[in-house]
Every structure is written in C-alpha cells, then in structure tokens.
Structure 1
C-alpha cells in the first residue's frame, strides 16, 4: 500500500535520501547539479570557438552532437548521441522527456545553455543508477527498483512495483549486454513518471489523506497500465 511520511523533501541525489513530506516522496535529481559525461563519445567535428566561460570539452560534445551545425540540437540528434551501458540508444520517449524538461524556450530544440543543464542532469542520474545497481549488472532489477523508489520516499506496494518493472524493463540485446531489466534511460523515465504522477495526485488530494475519488494505488495502476 501507499504510506505517508512527515519529512521534508530532499533534492540531493546521494545515498542518504530523505522521504518526502506527506508520503508523496522526495524529488529525484533536479536538473541543476554536478557535471560530467553521460557515456557518449563524440565523433570528430569542426569546432567553433566556445562561448566565453563555457567548458571547452562540453562545447566540443555539443558541436559533435549538432551534426547539421545549426547551433541547436533536435530530438533525433540527441537520441543519436545518448547510449546506455549496453550501447543501446536511449528510447525515443526518454529523449523526448529530456527535451521537454530542458527546452525552456519551447522551440523544439535545445541550445548550448540548455544542453549544459541536460548533460549535468544525466550525470546526476548516472550516479543514482550506479548506486542502486548493486550487482553491477548494468540494469536495474525489481529489488533495486524498490530500493531506489523507497529511498526517494515512494512507498509503493509489491504489486505496483511489479507493474512499473514490467512496463519499463527490456530484454537482453542480441545475446550480450546486461540481463533483462531496466536500462539507465528507462530507469530515469520510470522515476520521473512516478514523481510526475505522484505530484498530479497530490494536487487534487488536498486533505493529504491518500484518497481522491479513487485511491492512489488504483490511480497509479490505471495510468501505468495505459499504452
């Protein structure tokens, strides 16, 4: 079942997560902290001078991803640049989710400033993924998923956790790579979806009793069962 808690939200993706207020869970990593490389090796590209104050290496990556040299990155360009630990590309749905978060001017692409935030966000999520991938398999299994969501403050029932695992898990890739489970990109999307749905439920659960016209468990099952 879904449980409640009185702690405040935590916005820091460290091993010691705090449960969220009202039992709704603390936020997964926000798009702001850290820096690093989300597992992409750019191909050689003609480099223009980096903007003043920009990280030259990050600018290099940006210009490599911007294959048409338009000065901004499309969904397809971003998808071609992001890979999981088993060298599979990020799911298009995950890439669209990332674009939606960081396309702050809503023009359908991301510029360098937006790209910097996206890159750091992915790096934060990589740290979280590595922390909960206890067996170092390169994928997240059901127990690891439960541990991660519980640490974010989401106290979900075994049935709901199983539904999330089934929805986001993928099979092995051509006989190599990690065992069946949730790859990095799908792990990020699963956590963000749980956060988003929880906040949507919270917005209408004004008395914080865990019920609206249907209870939280039913609400999540209905949404997660949708195509």
Structure 2
C-alpha cells in the first residue's frame, strides 16, 4: 500500500522526487506508533522539525482542511497534499530559513553551535547518547563548509535549500 501511495505522490508535478522522498521520510519518522497516520501532536513535531511555527488554532484549521476522511488523523495522501499546498516560493522560503536560523541561534552569535543544535534535537524528542553526539559532530562537519566548527547563516540556508533526506531521521533514532 505504501508503495502505491508513493507512486501516486510521484505523479504530482509540483514536487520533485527529492521533495517527495524528504516529505515521506519525515512522515514515517514522526509516525511514532506506526499506524501510518499522524495525529495533532505528531504533526506539530513535523512542523517544528521543518521550522514552521503553528499554534493550536492553526493546527485545528490545518486538520479541518487536510483531514479529508474526517477521522481526526492525517494519512499519507492527506499529508502529501497538505505539504504540497503549503509550499513556498524560493524567495519566501529563503526569508523563512533566515528566520528559522535566528530561532536556533539562541545566543545571537550569528552561528549555530553544537549546544544549540543539541537543544533543538532534544525538543524533537530525540534520544541523545554518545553515538548521537558523534553523529551530530559528523553532521556539523558536513554542513560547516568553512571548517570553523559552527554553522553560519549561509551554511544553514544552503543546506536547507538542498532538501536533504530528513537528516535527523537518518542520524538520530
């Protein structure tokens, strides 16, 4: 069934194959109970991971719009349709990424350091052990193009615009 859903999603011309794969990764990563549907809390985590701020009223409106079968949950097809409808033009997306960077950069240093990245990952409910720290260090090194051990705003925007395959799903379990 999931394969059929993937094929149906692949026919949507507005989304690239990489976009679909990334959105699928996020869906299955945040579907904690494995029922192939997202409840409101799971959707809030998806939006938070994508740096989209959604209050309870907005989440209620999202569910009213996206929940086509009225079961109070967002299934895969509803999720893909919802995210496709929320896509931004490149200029707006870049502006939102700059704002998201400011959200991570708690000390306003102009950089995201290991402590700030770890704090964000913990807010997603991700476990954090020694293995995760090594993987986070590897992730920072991959993003940190100038080698200073921190992520600056351009490095952040560049990596986010590359649409990587849900990095936290791959690096942190």
Give me the TM-score of the superposition, normalised by structure 1: 0.34
Between Structure 1 and Structure 2, which shows a larger proportion of strand residues?
A: 2
Larger Rg: 1
Between Structure 1 and Structure 2, which shows a larger proportion of helix residues?
A: 2
